[in-house]
Each structure stands twice: as C-alpha cells, then as structure tokens.
C-alpha cells in the first residue's frame, strides 16, 4: 500500500465518508437516500478534475451490495464491455463506472445501451466536458440524473488534509509530522478546490521536508515552492476553458474590473493567446460598440502587441485592454440591429431594390431603368457632410427600423443624429 499515492489511498469507501458535494449526495438528497436503499440509477457526473467524480462512484459502490466494475473510455475495448454485460447476466445487476465517458465510441455504446435501458447495468459516467456538448445523446437520454459537481471549498480541503494526517491505516497517521493549522490552511487555499491535488501536494511537501529525530518539520518555504502555479486550471481544449472565456466576457460586460482580471489571469496561464485575443476583440464590438468606438481600435492594438510580444509580456497590453473595456460605457445596439435585419431577411421580409440604387456603371443600365440616384455629397448639411431626401429601403419595407440607439457614452451623440435625420425624412414626405 505504501507504493500507492495518498490521494488513491484516501479515496472514500462509502458515501458517508465523502467530503463536499452536499447538494449532490448529502444526507438530505434523494440520491443519498436511493443509494442507502441499495438502488443505483444511471447518472452522469460532470466537473473539473479532482473534485470527486471518481470518489463518488467508488463510494456508491462501497455503500451498496451491487457488483462494481470501473473502466476508462479511452482504453476500454469491446471485450471489456462484453465482460460487463456477461457479469450483469450472471449477477442480475452491475454498476459500471465509466471514466471519460465522452470518449466512448459508437460500437461500445450500441452494445451497452440496451442493457442500461433494461436496468441490468447502472451506468455512472464521469466527464470533465459538458455532457450536453460532448456526451452522445443516446447515453445522455438513458442517464436519469446529470449532476454538475462544484469545486470543493477550502474548508472541505482542510477536512481532507486533517483526515489524511490522522489516518493511520490509509493516510499518514503513522508518521510524526510537525505542521501548523496555518500551513494546512495555505495548502487548502492554494489547491483551488482540487482534492486530489491537495492530497498529492501534502504528500510531496512532507517527503521533501527535513526530518529531525523521526519528525518531519514542515517549513513555509517548502509549501511556497510546491504551491507555485498549483491553482492554475483550464485545459484549452476543454469545456472549462470556454467557461473561463465566458466568465471573462460577462465580467467585462458587468464592468467588474477585478473579476475580469481574475479570469484574464487564468486564461493567460493556459497559454492560448489566439483564443483569448479573439474573444477580447469580440467583446470590444459586442459589448462596448458604439458607446465608445475607439475601444475597437485600442483592443486591436493591444491584441497585435500581445502577439508580437508573446508571453509573459503579452499580459501587459491585454491588462490595459481589459481594464479599459470594463470601465467603458456599454452598448450592443449595433449588432442587435444587424441581427434583427438578418432574422427579417431569413424570414422572407424582403423587397425589390429601388431602381435608383441599382448598379448604373455599364452601358444599357439606363435602358433598364437604373436612373434617378441623387449624390448626397452634392447637398451639404452643416458639419454632418451631405444628405438628401431619397428612399433606400425597398418600397415594401419603407419605414422599417432595425437600429434603436441608446444613450450610452458616445452613442448618445450618434443617436441624436439618427433621430434628427429621421425627422428630416418625415418633414419631406
């Protein structure tokens, strides 16, 4: 057992030993009561690494009397699936824990699905990817419960660390360890709700510490060294990366500078500048838009600078762009107006292009009636430039309004011009 990692040894054996996830499988939940009554429904457990998906599955297996088989979808073959079905036929029912279920191939699914549907196999699937995006609908439809797990709290992690230090059978209780409550709190806070990471880190810290008279002396400096970047998470190919991008945009839209910088920090640590820069450019036009038109150019300049500089210096122009967008006036009126126009076109709200707007730069255009266009620049109107009364929309759509200006920032001035021109059109009708 000494060769097994601490995180593996400390895995809970029953659902009463689970730490955290009280809203998923706490004593007051229906799932807890079902398991206690020896009934295991098929389910999907979705969440980031290290927050308890595998632990819950093994704890369920340890609580019930139902035979349990664990497979990983990345390595399991058809023979493995056939063995599960054979076991179900012999015993009447089996729990199948399938890790990385989003990688399950069609042949395995087709063979397994009818047995899950009949209830011979209680399927517990675990995935770090959004099941509504990455798990086959056939699997999803047969899992009555889809549970999204949350990262453990610092208090949850502290409880795990104390348990591991005291446990003489599975943990580190047989060792003499000099570690303070403050140091345990540092480890708990620094591992970002990842139970597996926290236990692995604790074990590494202990065995890399000086030993005096058979006592491991834990130093703050050792913890500091081990904690370096341990809180960084977000696979740039996974769902959580897109959750970070979404959270960054929503924080900027909500004008929360500190939250936006928090998510920006995580995204920078993932190292995917291409996706990050693309999202920042989108935000500039989607969320600030006409309220401060200079932001688009400023963000493009910051993005270009970040690409030329590369990391870690890229963080400097990006921080400027994010703070500026957070504190800028916000408007989404321009793209909302375009979306309304696109929707109208797709729904058939179209008309003939007015004859005077059609191309007249070729011989014979006048014969086709492409005449009558009046050049606005020939009719100056104050400091605006040029404007002349003539129709631009098809006759069928005359009077249609897609754009509705807001009074945010610079758009207030643009909106006033829009309303003034609309008034001119009405006066001349």
pLDDT reported for residue 139: 86
- Which single residue is written with the structure tokens 């770090």? 128
Within 13 A of 340's CA, how many CA atoms are on the CB side?
11
Do 95 and 68 meet the contact criterion of CB atoms below 8 Å apart?
A: yes
Cβ burial 111-124 (10 Å sphere, 16+ → b, else e): ebbebbeeebbbbb
Average pLDDT per 10 consecutive residues for the chain, totaling 429 residues: 80 92 92 93 89 93 92 87 89 92 82 88 91 85 88 91 94 93 91 87 92 92 78 57 90 94 90 91 96 95 94 94 96 95 92 91 88 92 89 90 92 91 77
H helix or E strand, kind and range, residue 277? helix 273-283
Residue-by-residue DSSP string for 222-244:
HHHHHTTTTT----TTSHHHHHH
**Rounded CA separation 392/372 (Å):** 12
pLDDT value of position 65: 86
CB atoms within 10 A of CB 347: 8
Do you find a cis peptide bond into 46, omega within 30 degrees of 0? Answer: no
* pLDDT value for 44: 94
Q: Whole-angstrom Cα distance, residue 71 to residue 53?
A: 14
Cβ-contact 166, 173 below 8 angstroms: yes
Provide the CA 14 distance to its chain's centre, in angstroms: 31
Q: Which residue has the tokens 């255009």?
A: 365
Neighbour-count burial of 394, counting CB atoms closer than 10 A to its CB (0-12 exposed, 13-18 middle, 19+ buried): middle
Domains by residue range for the chain, with CATH: 21-148 (3.40.50.300), 154-226 (1.10.8.60), 239-326 (1.20.272.10), 333-427 (1.10.3710.10)
């Amino acid at each position: 057992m000494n060769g097994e990692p601490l995180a593996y040894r400390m895995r809970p054996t029953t659902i009463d030993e689970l730490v955290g996830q009280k809203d998923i499988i706490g004593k007051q939940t229906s799932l807890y009561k079902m398991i206690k009554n020896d009934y295991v429904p098929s389910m999907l457990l979705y969440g980031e690494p290290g927050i308890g998906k595998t632990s819950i599955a093994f704890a369920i297996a340890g609580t019930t009397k139902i035979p349990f088989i664990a497979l990983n979808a990345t390595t399991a073959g058809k023979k493995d699936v056939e063995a599960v079905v054979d076991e179900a036929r012999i015993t009447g029912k089996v729990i199948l824990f399938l890790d990385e279920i989003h990688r399950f191939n069609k042949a395995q699914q087709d063979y397994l699905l009818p047995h899950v549907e009949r209830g011979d196999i209680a399927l517990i699937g675990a995935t770090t990817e959004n099941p509504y995006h990455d798990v086959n609908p056939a699997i999803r439809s047969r899992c009555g419960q889809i549970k999204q797990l949350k990262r453990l709290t610092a208090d949850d992690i502290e409880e795990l660390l104390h348990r591991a230090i005291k446990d003489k059978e599975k943990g580190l209780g047989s060792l003499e360890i000099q570690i303070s409550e403050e140091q345990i709190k540092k480890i708990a806070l620094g591992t970002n709700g990842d139970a597996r990471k926290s236990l692995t880190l604790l074990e590494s810290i202990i065995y890399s510490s000086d030993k005096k008279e058979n006592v491991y002396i834990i130093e703050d400096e050792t913890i500091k060294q081990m904690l370096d970047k341990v809180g960084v998470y977000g696979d740039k190919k996974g769902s959580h990366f897109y959750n970070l991008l979404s959270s960054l945009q929503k924080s900027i839209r909500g004008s929360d500078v500190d939250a936006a910088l928090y998510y920006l920090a995580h995204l920078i640590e993932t190292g995917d500048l291409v996706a990050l820069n693309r999202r920042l450019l989108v935000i500039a036009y989607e969320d600030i838009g006409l309220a401060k038109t200079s932001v688009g150019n400023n963000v493009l300049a910051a993005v270009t600078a970040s690409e030329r500089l590369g990391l870690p210096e890229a963080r400097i122009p990006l921080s400027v762009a994010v703070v500026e967008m957070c504190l800028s006036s916000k408007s989404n009126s321009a793209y909302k107006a375009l979306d309304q126009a696109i929707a109208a076109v797709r729904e058939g709200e179209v008309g003939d292009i007015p004859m005077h707007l059609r191309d007249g730069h070729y011989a014979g255009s006048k014969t086709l009636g492409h005449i009558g266009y009046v050049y606005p620049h020939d009719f100056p109107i104050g400091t605006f430039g040029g404007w002349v009364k003539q129709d631009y929309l098809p006759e069928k759509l005359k009077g249609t309004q897609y754009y509705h200006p807001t009074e945010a920032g610079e758009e207030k001035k643009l909106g006033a011009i829009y309303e003034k021109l609309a008034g001119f059109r009405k006066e001349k009708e």
